[in-house]
Amino acid sequence: MYVAACAPGANRRVGHAGLIEDYGLLGDQRGAALVRLDGSIDWLCLPRFDSAAVFTRLLGTPEHGFWQLAPALLAGDVSAPVPVRRYMGDTMVLETEWTTESGTVKVTDFMVPGDEAPQVVRIVTGVQGQVTMRSLLRVRPGYGHTVPHLERADDTRLAIDLGEDGDGRLWFEATEPVHAEAGDIHTDFTVTEGERISFALSWREGTDSPPPQTAPDALLKHTLNHWTKWVARCTYTGPDRGSAVRSLLTLAALIYSPTGAIVAAPTASLPEELGGVRNWDYRYAWLRDGAFIASVLAHCGYLSEALAWKDWLVRACAGTPGRRQIMYGIGGEPDLPEQVLPWLPGYEGSAPVRIGNDAAGQLQIDVYGEVADALCEIALSSPDEAPDIAAFIMDLVTELETLWDQPDMGIWEIRGPRRRFTHSAIMAWVAVDRAVRLIELGYATGPLERWKALREKIHREVCAKGYDAERNTFTQYYGGSALDASLLHAMLSGFLPAEDRRVIGTIKAVQNDLGTTGGLVLRYPTEGEHAGVDGLAGDEGHFLICTGWLAESLDRIGRHEEAAAVRNRLLSLRSDVGLLAEEYDLRNGRQLGNFPQGFSHLAVLRAVLMTGPVSASRDHVDPLPALPAGTAS
């Protein structure tokens, strides 16, 4: 097990949502659930990541839906024992074990991967003595907005209508008699040593017939086999492999297997600042996030998943000819209208609660470079696919020719005025550079000389307008003085050689201006109660992918011991089951933002793969080789 980021039981609040790091993730590569340390599932979206949640206590109160399965003494008791939990080996099956005065009991939770109806299964096993248990299921469709109609099939099965708040129907099944009252389903029972009691909540399309009765042990075996076989394909065998595998599994759980799309996170509106307004829905497929994740998956042996993402990308972009969006729904949907749910108070009062995401319509120039870079790497790993991938990149750069010099919203998708962000300009250079390379390698045809000239033009402009010679650092945007952690990512792109003084100066400047002594990094300066460059009031935590970029950047310029220290700091922030949210609140010592966040686990992976322990960091082949650096200007 990983070491918990905070003391077990500290700051736990009964009845409401727990700390973000209190939660474990369940996933079937279609939807997701979050299980709190006390055995309560407080967030559940099925059959898809972006389906309306049927448990939403995470963003509200118990009245907005949850399913708690735990020793009966836990209800309302702040002195209740804190359980021990772990994932079973290298899988997404979560075990939670309580030891009480009368005995020890274990709950095994999982979602069942595959093509059958989505299903959450919970198995209670008596370990020692006897323990009185309670299951309380409160389904509230439509993000906690509706009390559903319950229809009993028999003593152990009930149907739950989702009404206008969701297609299909839920079915609840237990191996013990269940009782329904006022929209709740509860079961009280005692489990003794060696005894097993199981529960299942299944989604079925349509409303007519119940699903076949659940075979929980067979489903558990199937789920364990699925994830064990998936991990067996991992080709990384270097230091900290356990850390790499847990982050790989988390990224795998963010894949929507029917289409190959990859969501940024499985949650919506978990705050970047407690009590603040920076609350966004991340259950969609950003091209940037998908590109980053597909690339690292391919490097770790999961080329088929990377190619599935590529296929989704091509299909999704075909639906919006003229200019590609920066994100789509997991089925390729272009319209993701943002709305506020006024009946939800938000996580710890962080309102508004938003679903949908208006950023889908933004111009973010950097996406062209990030997608082209990832696709170039995938093409070089899969020669049979390379011509088709190269043709797609040619289309990207043709589109980019008319956009690259426009102000945009940048990698952080600001909601303030557009600017000429330096990171966006460097990523435009990356897109053109990768297209030129593929033409030169014979994988595509295109206007080689014109694009070589464009590549040089962008390079000269960035070095002239995005660089502060007096401070020896690139800046957040042309003509500005502020810094931005995305410059670390830009310095890793091959735009300049690692030994260039401007690269070294930028890394040092970002570290000094946006970093902490412990290695955490802010994205960019915020202005408190005043709106900053992003157009939003308020502050936020330290953005964890930026810490990963810092570790990589330090390693790239030869500061290996410092890089390893930053990497270790990032690893230390993981929860007891190895999960990370988007950000970290250094002042309060807790995680912030949507959870678990693909970016953060990408950072863990790249930091582990690039740095490793100090004693071994230079003794193994770098699994993420950098493309040759561009020509310095």
Q: Which two tokens stand for residue 544?
A: 């964890």
Residues 289, 599 contacting (CB under 8 angstroms): yes
Stretch among 81-85, 289-293, 347-351, 481-485 having the lowest mean pLDDT:
81-85
Helix 241-253 × helix 216-232 angle, to 10°: 120
Is the pLDDT confidence value at 631 over 50?
no
The predicted structure's pLDDT at residue 117: 87
User: What are the tens digits of pLDDT across the range 477-527?
Assistant: 999 999 999 999 999 999 999 999 999 999 999 999 999 877 899 998 886
The predicted structure's pLDDT at residue 74: 67
The predicted structure's pLDDT at residue 200: 96
Is the pLDDT confidence value at 274 over 70?
yes
CATH: 2.70.210.12, 3.40.50.620, 3.40.920.10, 1.50.10.10. Which one for 238-610?
Answer: 1.50.10.10
The CA distance from 550 to 516, in Å, is 11
pLDDT band at 163 (very low <50, low <70, confident <90, very high): confident
Percentage, residues of the chain above pLDDT 70: 91
Q: Which long-range contacts (CB under 8 A, 24 or more apart) does 242-248 make?
A: 243/571, 243/578, 243/604, 243/608, 244/300, 244/604, 244/605, 244/608, 244/609, 245/90, 246/2, 246/87, 246/90, 246/578, 247/578, 247/601, 247/602, 247/604, 247/605, 247/608, 248/297, 248/300, 248/302, 248/605
Give how far the C-alpha of residue 94 lies from the chain's centroid of Cα atoms, to the nearest Å. Answer: 18
Q: Stretch 283-294: mean pLDDT, rounded? A: 98
The CA distance from 188 to 94, in Å, is 22
Residue type (1 letter), 254:
L
User: What are the tens digits of pLDDT across the range 529-562?
Assistant: 766 777 777 778 899 999 999 999 999 999 999 9
Domain residues of the chain, as ranges? 20-228, 238-610
The CA distance from 554 to 326, in Å, is 30
Is the pLDDT confidence value at 395 over 70?
yes
Closest alpha carbon to 431 in 357, 477, 494, 508: 494
Q: Stretch 359-365: mean pLDDT, rounded? A: 95
pLDDT band at 145 (very low <50, low <70, confident <90, very high): very high
Beta strands in 317-424 (DSSP E): 327-328, 339-340, 354-355
Percentage, residues of the chain above pLDDT 90: 81
**More confidently predicted of 621 and 327:** 327
User: What are the tens digits of pLDDT across the range 72-130?
Assistant: 976 555 566 789 999 999 999 999 999 999 999 999 999 999 988 899 999 999 999 99
Expressed in percent and rounded to 5, the helix, strand and coil fractions of the chain are 35, 20, 45
Q: What letter does residue 84 receive in the DSSP assignment?
A: E
CATH number of 20-228: 2.70.98.50
Residues 67, 201 contacting (CB under 8 angstroms): yes
Beta strands in 438-594 (DSSP E): 467-468, 473-474, 542-543, 583-585, 590-592
3-state helix/strand/coil string of 451-473: HHHHHHHHHHHHHHHCEECCCCE
Is the pLDDT confidence value at 455 over 50?
yes
The predicted structure's pLDDT at residue 162: 87
Mean pLDDT of the chain: 90
Q: Which two tokens stand for residue 465?
A: 């307008």
Mean pLDDT is highest, among 152-166, 199-213, 594-608, for 594-608
Element (H, E) at 106: strand 103-111
**More confidently predicted of 168 and 603:** 603
Neighbours of 551 (CB within 10 A): 30
The predicted structure's pLDDT at residue 615: 30
The predicted structure's pLDDT at residue 13: 40
Is the pLDDT confidence value at 626 over 70?
no
Phi then psi dihedrals of residue 88, to 5 deg: -70, 105
Residue type (1 letter), 97:
E
pTM of the model: 0.92
Residues 200, 119 contacting (CB under 8 angstroms): yes
